Amino acid sequence: MNVPFLDLGAQVRELREEIDDAIARVLSSGWYLLGPELETFEAEWAAYTGSAYSVGLGNGLDALALALRAYGIGPHDEVIVPSNTYIATWLAISQVGATPVPVEPDEATFNINPEKIEAAITSRTKAIMPVHLYGHPADLDPILEIARTHRLRVIEDAAQAHGAEYKGRRIGSHGDAVCWSFYPTKSLGALGDAGAVTTNDPDLARDLRRLRNYGSTKRYVCEVKGYNSRMEELHAAVLRVKLKHLDNWNSRRRGIADRYGRSLSSRNLSLPVEASWARHVYHLYVVRSRSRRALQLHLEHLGIGTIVHYPIPPHEQAAYSDLRMADDSLPVAHSMHTEVLSLPASPHLSDSQCQLVIDAINTFSE
Ligand SMILES: Cc1ncc(COP(=O)(O)O)c(C=O)c1O
């Protein structure tokens, strides 16, 4: 492959010594869960995201589900969610027994369209879950305003938005709870599964710390029916190393996006945009093409890896057949899923690899 979609090994090679040191430190500490590495990472991640609290968890899906659970959202409740997101956002709602109520996205930013939210609110609605998809923040102010008016929680899915900014402020504390994934391919990724919630709500932080540890704050005393979902010391130590490089990596991602934006022919392609109030971190660089399959094959033929994020919208997944939603009931999500294609744009892509992608796309003819 001339240009792999993502080469996680390149990231580790860049930081090999620092990562080895961090791992060695944990190994010799003799302490592997809920220890000093997690505590320090939580403080560093709270500071980075501008939030008062950060609670490290087992993965991003748990971060979403535990935030819902901590706010008492469960059976008979409805949660508003984008129609075009990774399935985990919907699964978190289902895990607590609530019902996802999809709202279509804005065509330009791929994020939930605030103008369509109010029509979806019922007496059972308890929360809105905006997703900052692909690294572009959702338009939070109108969402927060609707939530205030209708007394709803705002639980953000920030799994793809490490370092993104909304109106000059980093994502991390706009809503009641902001949920993170540190899955290895994320812009800040662990060496396995890890997640977190950031918040300014002290009660939420306390409840999440209890929920992640069997519902206990005191050993062998179970106060609520909890889970086992704790970020491991090894992951926290590695994330601390990588966090120091996140801003540089995001700048590099933005540089690649800028170059693509200036050089890719937009004849048959629509390119991602950045709203005037947003700082996009291009976790994914997603274009839209009516000839996606042909374009993907053309690139594959030239040794360029691409991925579709995502091929099937949640309401068309077998898992959600119980909602009985026709495929064409959410036409914006449906058409996005048939047209989106993510190009290689990781910070470790070289300038010459970038040029190969540009040349390959500009020579594509249907
Ligand atoms: C938008 C979104 N939400 C939630 C998740 C779930 O995170 P995790 O894989 O850590 O459970 C992911 C990533 O996988 C994601 O991209």
Q: Which residues line ligand 1 (CB under 6 A)?
A: 59-61, 85-86, 88-89, 131, 157, 159-160, 181, 183, 193, 195
* Side-chain half-sphere exposure of 137, counting CA atoms within 13 A: 26
Distance CA 80, CA 117 (A): 8
Interatomic CA distance for residues 142 and 144, integer angstroms: 5
Average the pLDDT over 267-291 and give the result. 95
pLDDT tens figures, 287-296:
999 999 999 9
Whether residue 266 has pLDDT greater than 80: no
Give, using CA atoms, the residue closest to atom 4 of ligand 1. 88
Determine the residue type at 66: L
- Residue 159 C-alpha to ligand 1 middle, in angstroms? 5
pLDDT at residue 126 is higher than 80: yes
Kindly give the pairing relationship between strand 153-157 and strand 177-181.
Answer: parallel
The answer to whether residue 366 scores a pLDDT higher than 90 is no
Q: Which atom of ligand 1 is nearest to the CA of 64?
A: 4
Tell which atom from ligand 1 comes closest to the C-alpha of 61.
Answer: 11
Neighbours of 30 (CB within 10 A): 7
Q: Using CA positions, which residue lies closest to atom 8 of ligand 1?
A: 60
> What is the position in ligand 1's atom list of the atom closest to the CA of 182?
10
pLDDT digits (tens, 9 = 90+) for 200-256: 999 999 999 999 999 999 999 999 999 999 999 999 999 999 999 999 999 999 999
Instruction: Reply yes or no on whether the pLDDT at 327 is more than 80.
Output: no
Share of the chain above pLDDT 70, in %: 100
Residue 127 pLDDT: 98
pLDDT of residue 364: 92
Task: Return the C-alpha torsion angle 150, 206, 62, 127, nearest 10.
Answer: 0
Cα–Cα–Cα angle for 77, 79, 85, nearest 5°? 150
Q: Whose CA is nearest to atom 7 of ligand 1?
A: 60
Q: Which residue has the tokens 């709270």?
A: 46
Q: Which of 86, 93, 179 to mutate to test the pocket of ligand 1 (most atoms within 8 A of CB)?
A: 86
Q: Which residues contact 28 (CB under 8 A, 6 or more apart)?
A: none
Looking from the CA of 244 toward its CB, the CA atoms found within 13 Å total 9
Nearest to 12 by CA among 224, 189, 230: 189
Q: pLDDT by residue (tens digit) across 62-74?
A: 999 999 999 999 9
Task: Out of 61, 66, 178, give the residue to mutate to test ligand 1, the one with the largest number of ligand atoms within 8 Å of its CB.
Answer: 61
246: CB partners within 8 A, 6+ apart = 48, 162, 163, 187, 188
- The tens digit of pLDDT for each residue in 100-118 reads 999 999 999 999 999 999 9
pLDDT at 5 over 80: yes
- Counting from 1 in the atom list of ligand 1, the atom nearest the Cα of 133 is 1
210/200 Cα distance (integer angstroms): 17
Q: How far is the CA of 81 from the centre of ligand 1 (A)?
A: 14
The span from the CA of 174 to the CA of 200, in Å, is 9
pLDDT greater than 90 at residue 270: yes
Q: Give the Å distances, CA to CA, from 81 to 53, 91, 221, 285.
A: 24, 11, 35, 22
Site to probe by mutation for ligand 1, drawn from 57, 66, 133, 183 as the one with most ligand atoms within 8 Å of Cβ, is 183
**Predicted confidence band at 78 (pLDDT cuts at 50, 70, 90)?**
very high
Residue 243 CB contacts under 8 Å (≥ 6 apart), including other chains: 41, 44, 45, 48, 188
pLDDT for residue 6 is more than 90? yes
In angstroms, the CA 316 to CA 62 distance is 23
Contact 265, 362 (CB under 8 A): yes
The vertex-87 CA angle with 81 and 192, nearest 5°, equals 125
Distance (angstroms) between ligand 1 centre and the Cα of 48 equals: 20
Least reliable range by pLDDT among 47-61, 174-188, 325-339 = 325-339
pLDDT per position as a tens digit, 150-165: 999 999 999 999 999 9
The chain-wide mean pLDDT, for the chain, equals 97
Distance (Å) from CA 325 to ligand 1 centroid: 23
